[in-house]
Amino acid sequence: MKAVEITEFGAPDVLKLAERPTPEPKAGEVLIKVSASGVNRPDVFQRKGSYAPPPGISDLPGLEVAGEIVGGSIDEKNNPFGLKIGDRVCALIAGGGYAEYAVAPLGQCLPVPNGLTDVEAASLPETFFTVWSNVFQRAYLGQGEGGENETLLVQGGSSGIGVTAIQIAHALGFRVFATAGSDDKCRACEALGADRAINYRTSDFVEVVKALTNDRGVDVILDMVAGGYVARELSALATGGRIVLIATLGGSKAELNMGEILRRRLTVTGSTLRARSVEFKAQIAQELKAKVWPLIEEGRIKPVVFRVFPAAQAAEAHALMESSEHVGKIVLDWSSAV
C-alpha cells in the first residue's frame, strides 16, 4: 500500500509518500480501505519528534480515517452499531492513518453519518472524541453548579477542536463563547454558533467574558494553550467553574492562585486521548452515536473542512496546519494518491 512516512523528525518536507506492507488486523480490529485521513495538531508534534505513538502502534502519523471495512474481526457480541464488511465507517485510531489501509479497533469505528462524504467523515473522529470526553465527561458541562444554564468558553475557536466544541455545545443548548486570532475567524466562530467570539489580539477575553455574563464568568473553559493563560482563565470562571486542558501550545507551566481555587471551588483538569484504552474510547463512540450523530444527520452540526489535499501533498497540509490560517479541519484524500 501507499503511505506517508516521517522520514526523519523535522519540517513538513520530511513527510514522503512510500510503499508499506498492508497492516494485518488483530483480534477485535478491522481493516479499513482508507478514502480520507484527517490531519491534526498531534500529527505535527509526532513529525517533529515530540509525540511518539504508544507501544505497538504504527509509526505512521494519522489519528482518524474514513473508508470501507474490507476485512478483520467482527465480534457480534462487541459490535454495538452492527457493522459488517463493506460498511462505510469513520474511525479513531492511535496511529497509521496516513495510508491507503489502516487497522482500527471495532469499538472505535462509527458508521458514516447519513449524507456525509468520506472526506467530511474523516474530519470527525479525533475532534469529536476529544471534545466529548473533555467538555462533557471530564468537565461535565451542564452538570455543575450552573446546571442546564452553564456556559462554555472555547480557546482557539477556529481550530478543528474549536469548531467542533462550538457546534456540539450550541446544538445541545448551551451558551458558547470563543476566542480566535482575527476578526474573520471570530465571524466564522459566530456563524457556527458562538454567542460571541473574541479577538484575543485586540481584546482581553477575561474582561469580555465577565461583561457578557454580568460579571459571573463562564462555567467551563476548553483550553489548548495553557501556560500563562491558565491564571487568567481562573479569573474568567464562575464559582464552581472548571478548566479542562487538552494541549500546552503556550507552555506547560503556570503559576496559579491556589487560594482562589479553594475559595471559589474551581477545578483545573486535563487529559490526553491517544493512549487511553480501547474500552474507554469505545464508550465515547457509543455516546457520540447516541447523542451527537443524530444532530449531524439533522444538519444541526456540520463538518467544517477548510481544505483537502491529495495524500501525496501531506507536507503542504502540515505547512497549512502550522500556519494557523485555516478554520476547521484539513483532510488528506487517498483517491488521488500516486
Grid cell listed for 162 = 474549536
Rg (CA), the chain: 20
Name the CATH superfamily, with its identifier, for domain 129-270. Answer: NAD(P)-binding Rossmann-like Domain (3.40.50.720)
**Runs of H (alpha helix) within 248-326:** 258-263, 278-291, 293-297, 314-323
Distance (Å, rounded) from C-alpha 293 to C-alpha 289?
A: 5
| Every domain of the chain and the residues it spans | 2-124+277-333, 129-270
Contact status, residue 87 vs residue 68, Cβ threshold 8 Å: yes
pTM, two decimal places: 0.96
**Residue with cell string 474507554:** 280
Residue 119: CB atoms within 10 A of its CB come to: 21
State which residues of the chain have pLDDT below 70. Answer: 337-338
How much is the pLDDT for 151? 98
How much is the pLDDT for 337? 60
CATH match of 2-124+277-333 with 1.10.3260.10: no
